[in-house]
Amino acid sequence: MAAEARASGEGALDERAVALTLLAVLVGIGAAFAAQFLERLIYGVTNLAFHARWSVAHTEPMDVPRGVALLLVPMLGAAAVGVMARFGSRAIRGHGIPEVMERVLFGESRILARVMVLKPLSAAIAIGTGGPFGAEGPIIATGGALGSIAGQYVHVSADERKTLLAAGAAAGMAATFGTPLSAVLLAVELLLFEYRARSLVPVAMAAVTAAAMRVAFKGSAPVFAAAPFAAPGEAALAGYALLGALMGALAAGITTVTYAVEDLFERLPIPWMYWPLIGAMVVGACGLLEPRVLGIGYSNIVAALDGKTVGIALAVLVALKFIAWVAYLGSGTSGGTLAPLFTVGSGLGGLIGAAAARWVPALGVEPRVAALVGMAAVFAGCSHAVLASVVFAFETTRQPVGLLPLLAGCSAAYLVALLLRRTSIMTEKLARRGIEVRTEYSLDHLMRVSVREACVRDVRTLAASTRLDDARAALVQTPDGPQGFPVLDDEGRLQGVVLRRELLDLSLDGATRVGALAHGADEVAFEDETLRDAADRMVRTGAGRLPVVTREAPDRVVGIISRSDLLDAHATRLDEAHRRVRLRRLPLGALR
């Protein structure tokens, strides 16, 4: 049984898990190099498109003077992405994470090799020519593709390939932002759909490896470095929680608007490869009004967190960034969602925080902390990845005093967003295809109940020496009896199981001994196992019931467990979830 558990991936960490971890580390190294390559590719395209020079030095489209180039360059990039999607792969369209989730859930975590090449290339072209996206979505998709391809070339199971895919995705995010912990949490909340040591350890090691390589490439400074924040008071925490609730409502609206724009493009009477051109026209128009809208724009987030962009300038930036991002993403081009959401969230948070500081000073809300909370809360509301959002904001700013406001704001945002929308910006696309994705995790109830607790002790057995005619005569007297019977030899040892329908098969000679029909002598359930173990064994063997034995005497039957017993075990879970008990009034003395 132990060997069987190891082979199925259900046991504890073993040598195979160690090998998977080592492979995940290699995937993490590859994802780190891919992240660096993508970043330099974006800068290279930006330099070439806006400055007409060959260079991979850091630059942004906002550095270009206003002119017709801000309108035409995004359209040229959109045309290139449309051609790549039409003749390369449609999988490069969108921000990447929903597509990766779909491959995890319904594609055995298999991603085509060409996606690993075309996704970063198309994203670099879209972002480098002014697309208002972040590089994180494409690199998450690229890292995931790298892990998936590694799992396809190495002899691993679909479950292990999922782990490698999640390891690559987490490594890509960690290499981009230097946020290994939030990358692991994001993988758990959006890709793994589980929390097990044999999947968590490889993903964590891949993320740590990629983050360490980022330090070697770029140093250890936080991505969004800002001056230290002031510690919040009690009233301020309430204000940040309220701000988070507002951001949650905004996040639900962002998801609705994003997919409404996508629906508008779906109705256009022109081929989909031309849609990005229309989105690029909107981007270019917004760029003419405010060049800071173009490109990734991490500097805009830092400016909001530092309080350097305020008032009308910040409001205009937020509005135009949102319009450009929604239009371009809805048109089906390639780009990420994190950076635009962070820009919108930090800007609105800063604006609301400034208003609160001016009109309700007693709250003690600091605009810069409000910008941090707004940044994370919008992402928590849009993605429903609340823990990843809190930790991400901390890792990218290294502001310990921000943790409590972040937890309050992101939790409130998550609550409100869930009340307003069942789906997130990551799962809405899958929901529209009829795929419901649940991101709530709880311990399988069958793992909480042992076979010892649920099995039937009063077992009706048959002797192996019994004639078939005699067994049939007994069955006729109990038509509603059990459907299967353990068969024992003369010394009471288990020989297997025989089914009622097999005993009643009239094509068999009545003189046949029952022992000749017994089968599945090794298909048993141990008392100390969980019902999940028993259920999995039933599925693998096709058995509807299993004799229950002990470790000390594996050939002595002490009970029997059937499929109906597994269903009956859920009665306790349903009772715990729905039964409401009226609390009795306690005397005051009982509380002392």
Model confidence at 592, pLDDT cuts 50, 70, 90, reads very low
> What pLDDT is recorded for position 11?
47
> What pLDDT is recorded for position 591?
40
What whole-number distance in Å separates Cα of residue 576 and Cα of residue 571?
A: 9
Give pLDDT tens digits for 376-435: 999 999 988 899 999 999 999 999 999 999 999 999 999 999 999 988 888 887 777 766
pLDDT over threshold 70, residue 559: yes
What whole-number distance in Å separates Cα of residue 481 and Cα of residue 492?
A: 22
What is the strand order of the sheet 545-549 is part of? 525-526, 545-549, 559-562
- Structure tokens that stand for 112 in this block: 């085509």
pLDDT over threshold 70, residue 41: yes
For residues 409 and 241, the answer to whether their CB atoms sit within 8 Å is: yes
Go through the domains of the chain in sequence order and give each one's CATH number: 11-218 (1.10.3080.10), 234-432 (1.10.3080.10), 445-577 (3.10.580.10)
Give pLDDT tens digits for 334-360: 777 888 999 999 999 999 999 999 999
> What pLDDT is recorded for position 395?
95
What whole-number distance in Å separates Cα of residue 515 and Cα of residue 397?
A: 72
For residues 364 and 236, the answer to whether their CB atoms sit within 8 Å is: yes
Give pLDDT tens digits for 277-293: 999 999 999 998 988 99
In the chain, the percentage of residues whose pLDDT exceeds 90 is 35
Element spanning 279, H or E: helix 275-289
Give pLDDT tens digits for 121-170: 888 888 888 888 877 777 888 888 888 888 888 878 888 888 898 999 89
**Measured CA distances, 496 to 48, 285, 469, 529 (Å):** 75, 76, 19, 20
What whole-number distance in Å separates Cα of residue 547 and Cα of residue 108?
A: 34
> What pLDDT is recorded for position 13?
66
> What pLDDT is recorded for position 9?
41
pLDDT over threshold 80, residue 573: no
pLDDT over threshold 80, residue 34: yes
Model confidence at 2, pLDDT cuts 50, 70, 90, reads very low
> What pLDDT is recorded for position 83?
87
Model confidence at 7, pLDDT cuts 50, 70, 90, reads very low
Give pLDDT tens digits for 495-523: 889 888 888 887 888 888 888 888 888 88
Average pLDDT value for residue range 34-54: 89
Element spanning 549, H or E: strand 545-549
| CA end-to-end span of the chain | 53
DSSP 230: P
Average pLDDT value for residue range 285-303: 89
Q: Average pLDDT of the chain?
A: 85
What whole-number distance in Å separates Cα of residue 468 and Cα of residue 465?
A: 9
Give pLDDT tens digits for 175-203: 988 999 999 998 888 888 778 888 899 99
pLDDT over threshold 50, residue 370: yes
**Orientation of helix 136-153 relative to helix 158-177, angle to 10°:** 150
555: left (phi over 0), alpha (psi -120 to 50) or beta: alpha
Q: What are phi and psi of 399, to 5 degrees?
A: -110, 95
- What is the DSSP secondary-structure string of 235-251? HHHHHHHHHHHHHHHHH
Chain length of the chain: 592
DSSP 334: B
What whole-number distance in Å separates Cα of residue 429 and Cα of residue 392?
A: 24
Model confidence at 297, pLDDT cuts 50, 70, 90, reads confident
Task: Give rounded-to-5 percent helix, strand, coil for the chain.
Answer: 65, 5, 30
Three-class SS of residue 485? strand
For residues 210 and 31, the answer to whether their CB atoms sit within 8 Å is: yes
Give pLDDT tens digits for 53-102: 888 888 888 767 767 777 888 899 889 888 888 887 766 676 556 666 66
What whole-number distance in Å separates Cα of residue 326 and Cα of residue 341?
A: 10
DSSP 398: -
> What pLDDT is recorded for position 542?
86
- Structure tokens that stand for 91 in this block: 């999988």
Structure-token match 């022992």, residue found: 515
Could you tell me which residues are beta bridge partners of residue 284? Answer: none
- Structure tokens that stand for 4 in this block: 């069987």
Global model pTM greater than 0.85 = no
